[in-house]
Structure 1
Amino acid sequence: MYTCVVTVSGSAAQLLRGTNGSRLPELSDTDLIVFLGDFNYRLYNISFDEAMGLVSRRCFDWLRENDQLRAEMKSGRVFQGLREGEFKFPPTYKFEKHIAGLSGYDNSEKRRIPAWCDRVLYRDSRTSSQIECSLECPVVCSISLYDSCMEATDSDHKPVKCVFNLDIAHVDKQTMRQKYGEIMGSNKEVLDSLQGLEALPEVDISTNDIILQDQNPFVVKLHNRSTKELACFEIIGQTPKSSGTPFSGFPSWLKVSPAVGIISPRQSVEVTLQHGQIRSQDYLTGTSGDSSGAAQEKVATLLVTVTRVDSTAGRRHKIQVQHRCRRETYSSRGYNLADRFFA
C-alpha cells in the first residue's frame, strides 16, 4: 500500500488537518508528496525594466537565476527533500485581467516585477535522482509536462499544470511463492509444523447412499478414528436447478440435524435426516410421469467437510439422498385445488 499526499498551499492549520478534520499522515511516512499553489516567491536583485526586457526577449533562463524559491531551496532553508521540474514558461504573476499574452503583465503605478509565484513541488521515495525503482524505493516519479496556462485571463495569476509519470514497485507473486517454498522447505521446525497441520483426522461415515421413505428419519453416524485429534464437521447441501447447475444449501424439503459439530477422538456423532411435512402438491407430478400409486422421488447431494480444529484445510465426503413418497400417504384425503394456493 502506497501513500500520496497532495497539498495546496494554505495556512498551517489547513496543512496539518484534512478537509474533514482528520489529521494527515506524517510527511516522512508518505511515498509521494505533491505540494502546489501560490507560494508568493518573487525575483530578487532585478528591476522592473530589466525583468520586462528579459520577458519581452523570452530570456526566461536568465530570469530564473533571480528566482527566490530556487535560491532558498538550493540553500536548504525551505522545502528540504522536495524537488521541482525544469520549466521554461514565462513568469505567472502579475497580469492585468482579461488581457492575453505577455502584453498583459501589470503596467500600473506599482510596477510589480513579474515572478513565478505559482509552483508545483514534489518528493518521491528516492533520496537521490540516480536511484531506480525497487522494493526499497517503491515510488519513483518523473515529469512529462510542466507548463503554464497562458490562455487563462480571469485572474492576475496564470495557472500552472504538471503531469507526473509514476513507477511503482510491486512484488512478483510467482517469485514470492518460489522464495516462500524455499524458506519453508529449508526450515525443519516450520516444515514439521506444516506437516502436523496437514494430518487430518480420519472420519468414517456409515453410508453414502440414503433413501428416505415418507417422513421416516434416517440416522447417519460419523465416527472419528483419531486417538487424539478433534474432528470438526460441516454438512452443506447441493441441489440441482432446473437448468442442471447445482446451488448450495439444503433443499426446502430436507431437514439435517446437526449440520455442524465437533467429534471427540474415537467418538461418534449421529446426524438425523428427515423429510419435512409432506404436502400433496409436492408430488402432484411424479418424475416418472406415472399417475399411479408408485413412489415419487426427490434427490439431493450432501457434502460433509471434515477439518481439524486449528485448520481450514479439510477432506470432503459426498452423500447421495433420495426421498420416496407413496401416493397413498396423502391420497386418503384427496387433492384439493385450493391446496396449491393456501397451503
Structure 2
Amino acid sequence: MYEACMDVTESDHKPVRCKFHATIAHVDKSVRRQELGNIIKSNEEIISIFEELKSVPETTLSTNNIELQSQETGTLTITNSSTTSKAIFTILCGGQVIVKDDGEEESDYNPRGSFGLPRWLQVLPASGIIKPEEAVDVKVHHEESHTLEENVDGIPQSENTRDKEVVLMVNIRGSCSTTGTSHSVKVRHCLSARVGLTESEPTNPTENLDGSPREAGEENL
C-alpha cells in the first residue's frame, strides 16, 4: 500500500506512507543445537580435542597414612608418572575428627569451611605443578595450637590433650583437563604423653595420740 497524506497542508511536498508485507526467516534454536551436536559427534578433530581434555596424568603417592607428634614434620611425595603431561595438584582438607580416649574414631569427619586446614596442621606446598616423570615433596608439619576447652561427660578437656585426625584430599588434573582425580591421605596427631586427671588419696581420719579414732566433737587438748 502506498498513499499520500492529504491532511498535511503546511508542507511544500506531500508526505507519503507505505506499508510492506515481508516474510523473514528465523532460526529454530533447538534445531541449531541439535545440528551442532551432530557436528561435534562426527568431527574427528573435535572428538580428539575433547579426549585430550579428559586426560588426567597418572600420579602416585608415597603413603596414605601419616602420624605426627608435637612439632614433628612428615613428608608426602607426589610422583607424576606421565611422560608427556604436566600434573597440577591442590591439597584440601576433607574433614577432621577427634579420637576418643579409647582409641576409637568418631563415625563422621567434621567438614571444614572452604576445605581449609585446621590451625594445628601446616601443608607446604599446598598446590603446584609437577613436570612429566618428576616428583614433589610436600611437608606436613604439626603446629602447636591453643583451642577452647570442651566438656566430655562433664569433665573439661582440651583438644590439645586428645589425638586428632584429618583427611587430606590431593586433587590432580592435567594442564588442560576438564576432569580430575583425587587421592585421600589420613594425617593423625598422636600425643607423645597423655595428660591424665589424678585424684588425691583420701586422708586418714584424725586419730588420738593412742591411735584410736577421735570422736566427733572432741578437741585437741
Instruction: Answer whether TM exceeds 0.5 for this pair.
Output: yes
- Runs of 4+ in structure 1 off by over 6 angstroms are 286-291
Question: Are 1:256 and 2:136 an aligned pair?
Answer: no
Structure 2 counterpart of 1:182: 38
Structure 2 counterpart of 1:269: 136
Structure 1 counterpart of 2:8: 44
Question: Are 1:313 and 2:168 an aligned pair?
Answer: no
Distance 2:73 2:67 in 1: 10
Aligned residue-pair number: 176
How do residues 112-261 of structure 1 correspond to structure 2 at under 5 angstroms?
Answer: 128=21, 130-131=23-24, 134-135=26-27, 171-172=29-30, 176=33, 178-239=34-95, 244-247=110-113, 248-261=115-128
Q: Which amino acid aligns with 1:296?
A: R
When residues 243 and 306 of structure 1 are mapped into structure 2, their CA distance, relative to the original with a 3 A threshold, is closer
Give the C-alpha shift of residue 201 in structure 1.
Answer: 0.8
Report the 3-state secondary structure (helix = DSSP H, G, I; strand = E; otherwise coil) of the residue aligned with 1:220: strand
Give the CA RMSD over aligned residues. 4.0
Report the 3-state secondary structure (helix = DSSP H, G, I; strand = E; otherwise coil) of the residue aligned with 2:50: helix
Distance 1:240 1:216 in 2: 19
Identity %: 26
Report the 3-state secondary structure (helix = DSSP H, G, I; strand = E; otherwise coil) of the residue aligned with 2:137: strand
Distance 1:228 1:243 in 2: 37
Structure 2 counterpart of 1:141: none
Q: Which amino acid aligns with 2:40?
A: M
Deviation string, structure 1 residues 6-37 (Cα, Å, up to 9, x no partner): xxxxxxxxxxxxxxxxxxxxxxxxxxxxxxxx
Compare relative contact order (CA 8 Å, sep 6+) and give the higher one, 1 or 2. 2
When residues 175 and 249 of structure 1 are mapped into structure 2, their CA distance, relative to the original with a 3 A threshold, is farther
Q: Return the TM-score normalized by structure 1.
A: 0.42
Q: Return the TM-score normalized by structure 2.
A: 0.62
Q: Relative to total residues, which structure has the larger helix share, 1 or 2?
A: 1
Deviation string, structure 1 residues 75-132 (Cα, Å, up to 9, x no partner): xxxxxxxx8xxxxxxxxxxxxxxxxxxxxxxxxxxxxxxxxxxxxxxxxxxx955447
Structure 2: unaligned runs, 5 residues or longer: 98-107, 196-221
Distance 2:55 2:72 in 1: 37
Give the C-alpha shift of residue 207 in structure 1.
Answer: 1.9
Structure 1: unaligned runs, 5 residues or longer: 1-40, 47-67, 75-82, 84-126, 136-168, 330-343
Deviation string, structure 1 residues 276-316 (Cα, Å, up to 9, x no partner): 2244xx3855879796xx96122322221111122342212
Give the C-alpha shift of residue 251 in structure 1.
Answer: 1.8
Distance 1:328 1:316 in 2: 34
